[in-house]
Structure 1
Amino acid sequence: MDTTRYDVVIIGGGATGLSAATTLARALRSVLVIDSGTPRNAPAAGVHGFLSRDGLNPRELLSIGRSEVTSYGGTVLDGDAVSARRTPSDFEITLEDSRRFLGRRLLVTTGLTDELPPIPGLGEQWGKGVVHCPYCHGWEVRGQRIGVLGTGPLSTNQALMFRQWSPEITLFLNDTVEPTDEEWEKLAARSVQVVDGAVASVDAVDGVLTGVTLRVGPQFSVAALAVGSRMEARSALLESLGLPSQVHPSGAGRFIETDAVGGATAIPGVYAAGNVTNLMAQVITAASEGVMAGARINADLIDEETRWAVEGRFGPFSAASEAAVSNMVLGERAHGIAR
C-alpha cells in the first residue's frame, strides 16, 4: 500500500474533480485525483455553455485541467477505484489493481451513466446525431428536422423545449408516452408533429443519422434525435461506504443526496459533487460545484487542525513539517513568487 497520506483523495477526474483538486492544491493541500478515464461526455465533439471553452473537445478540457492540478502540486493517477473504507483516522481507497491510498477526506466526483433504450442504432449515435440537452446541442441542430424519442413523461416537455431551436419537431411516442389533454393542446399549438407506435431502429448512413424507423409503419427522416436518458449516478464507491443512491424527484434517475452547499454527505469526511449528486448539472455547473466542494473540505480540515492546535498537538503533522511549510511560503514570498 502507498504509505503517503493525502489531505484529500478525489475519485473522478472530470471537470468537478479537477476543479476541486485545483482549489485544494492552491490551498496548500496534498491532493490525489484517481480517474478511470471514462468521462460521460467522451462521445461529444465539444463542450458547450462553458465560458471561454465553448466547442473545446472534452478530453482536451480534461488535459488542461490535469495540467493545472499538477502545476500546483496535486497528483493525478489513472486507475479505477473499486472500494473505500473508513479507518480510525483516514479513508482507505482500493483500486482495481489492488493499489491502496489513504486520505483524511474523501471527495467522490464519479459522475453518472446515461442509460438508453435498447433500440438498434441508438447507442452508436449517442453524442453525435442523438442528443439530449437543448442547451448543450440546440445551436448545432438549429433549424433542422429534429425528432424526440419518447422514453417517459418528460419527453413531451423535451419536445416543447427543442421547438425553440427548430420549427420541425416530431415526437415519437414509442409506446411509452401518453400526453395529457393539456400536453396535446400545447403540442398542437406549437405545431409539434406526433407519431404513434414503437420505434424499431435509429438509422444512419456512413455514421450520419438519417432517420427513425417504426416497428409498424414508415421511416421518418430526421437530422437529429433528442432522447431523455435515464441518468444513474456512478455510486458504487459511495455505496461501499453505506451511502445508497436515491430516486430523483423528477423520475429521471438516481443520485447521491448531499447538503445544499459543499457536497457533504451523511458520512462525516465524505463529500460528493457534480453529476453524481446533481443529475442536471452541465460541465460548467459541475466545475463550479467542484470549487465549492474543495473550499468546503478545506474549511473542514482547517477546523480540525485548529482543534488540534488548541489541544496542543499537530494531528498527522510534526512540528518539523509545519515549519517546513512555513519556510517554503516565506522563501517564495522573499523571491517574489505569488501563489
Structure 2
Amino acid sequence: MSTSREDLLRYDVIIVGAGPAGLSAALILGRCRRRVLVCDSRRYRNDAAQLMHGFLSRDGVPPAELRRIGREQLAPYGVEIRDVTVVDLRAERRQFEVTLEGGERLVCRKLLLATGLVDRLPELPGLAEMYGKSVHHCPYCDGWEARDQPIGVYGQGCTGVALALNMKTWSRDVVLFSDGPASLPEADAARLARHEIAVREERIARLEGKDGMLERVVFTDGSAVARRALFVKARQEQGSELARKLRCEVTEERGVETADKHEETTVEGVFVAGDASKDVLLAIMAAAEGADAAFGINCALQEEDLA
C-alpha cells in the first residue's frame, strides 16, 4: 500500500551532508528547537586527509574526530542523524519531499544542501597512494607541513602558474610540472623565471616514494626530479546532483549560486553551505557557512510561524 504525502514523516529542516557545514547548521537549528534530520552519505571530500588544519581549537585533529565531536554535541538538542544517502528531492507547495536510498520518503519545510565537492585528480601512477600524505590540493591545509622542502606543482595554464607562485609562500624551491607542453604566455613564463620557478614540460611516467611519501617525479624518458611534496590543481565537481534536480542555479566556476546573504539558493527554501557553493574551500569556512545558513533558515521559519 502506498504512503500518502499526509502520512510522511515531517521535519522542519532536512540537512543533506554531515561534514563541518551540515553539522554546524544542525547545531544552531537544534538549539532553535527545530526538528532536524541530518542525512550522512559517509562520503567526505577530505577522507584521504590525515589531519585537518586551520580550524581554530581543532588544528591538527583527524577529520573523522571533528565529525565525531560534532555528532556528540548534537545529542542534547534532539537532532536526528541517519547514515543514509538522499537519492531524490522534489519541491511541492512550499515544502520538499526527500527520498532516501531504500525508498523511504520524508517531508520538510526547508532544505540545506551541504553535499560538498569531489576532486578529480590527475591519473598519475603512484598519486593515489600518496594523496593526503605528500600529495595535496590545498596549500592552506597542507603547505605548512611541506615548508622549506622541495615542492612540486602539477598544473597547466594560468591555474598551474597561479598555484606555483602561491607555493613560494611555503618554500623557495618550487618546480611546475605541466606534463606536456606548457604553452605559457610570455608574461607568465617571465614571471615564473623571475621568481626562480622552473617549468618541466616532460611527460610524467609516475610518482615514486615510500609509505605514501613522495621522493621523486619520474618522466617517461627515465629522468627524474626529487620532490618531497606535490600540490595539484584538481578539477572539482559537485558532490551531488540534488541541487540541479531542484533547478537551483549551478555554475562550474561558482558552484551552487546563492541568492541572498544567508546562503539561500535561487530556489526559495533551499539553502547551501560548504564547498558546494565554492567560496573559500576551508573546513572552518564550511562550518561558518553552515551557521549562517541555519540563521537564515530559522528566520524564514519564524516568519512563517508568526505570520
On whether the aligned pair clears a TM of 0.5, the verdict is: yes
Shift of 1:215: 2.2
CA distance in 2, matches of 1:89, 1:49: 38
Q: Say whether 1:95 aligns with 2:105.
A: no
SS at match of 1:211: strand
Query: Does the aligned pair in 2 maintain the 1:235–1:244 contact within 8 Å?
Result: no
CA distance in 2, matches of 1:176, 1:270: 44
Q: 2:112 aligns with which of 93, 98, 107?
A: 107
Query: Does the aligned pair in 2 maintain the 1:150–1:176 contact within 8 Å?
Result: no
Higher relative contact order (CA 8 A, sep 6+): 2
Runs of 5+ unmatched residues, structure 2? none
The amino acid that maps onto 2:306 is T
Shift of 1:282: 0.3
Q: Which residue of 2 aligns with 1:286?
A: 286
Query: Does the aligned pair in 2 maintain the 1:150–1:177 contact within 8 Å?
Result: no
CA distance in 2, matches of 1:215, 1:283: 37
RMSD: 1.7
Shift of 1:173: 1.7
Query: Does the aligned pair in 1 maintain the 2:96–2:108 contact within 8 Å?
Result: yes
Query: Does the aligned pair in 2 maintain the 1:211–1:223 contact within 8 Å?
Result: yes
Shift of 1:178: 2.7
Matches within 5 A, 1:275-314: 275-307=275-307
Tell me the alpha carbon deviations over residues 119-165 of structure 1, each in whole angstroms, 9 at most, x when there is no partner: 21222322111112221111101011111112442111111111111
Shift of 1:260: 4.4
CA distance change for structure 1 residues 54 and 214 in 2, over 3 Å: closer, same or farther? same
Q: Which residue of 2 aligns with 1:52?
A: 57
Normalising by structure 1, we get a TM-score of 0.85
Q: Which residue of 1 aligns with 2:274?
A: 274
- Structure number with greater Rg is 1
Q: Which residue of 2 aligns with 1:116?
A: 121
Q: Which residue of 2 aligns with 1:326?
A: none
**Percent of aligned pairs with the same amino acid:** 40
How many pairs does the alignment contain?
Answer: 302
SS at match of 1:91: strand
Normalising by structure 2, we get a TM-score of 0.93
CA distance in 2, matches of 1:32, 1:87: 19
The amino acid that maps onto 2:280 is M
Q: Say whether 1:261 aligns with 2:261.
A: yes
Matches within 5 A, 1:1-339: 3-175=8-180, 177-243=182-248, 245-248=250-253, 255-307=255-307
CA distance change for structure 1 residues 50 and 166 in 2, over 3 Å: closer, same or farther? same
Shift of 1:179: 2.4
Tell me the alpha carbon deviations over residues 256-280 of structure 1, each in whole angstroms, 9 at most, x when there is no partner: 1112411111211111111011253
CA distance in 2, matches of 1:89, 1:244: 18
Of stretches 42-51 and 215-224 in structure 1, the one that deviates more from structure 2 is: 215-224
Shift of 1:79: 0.5
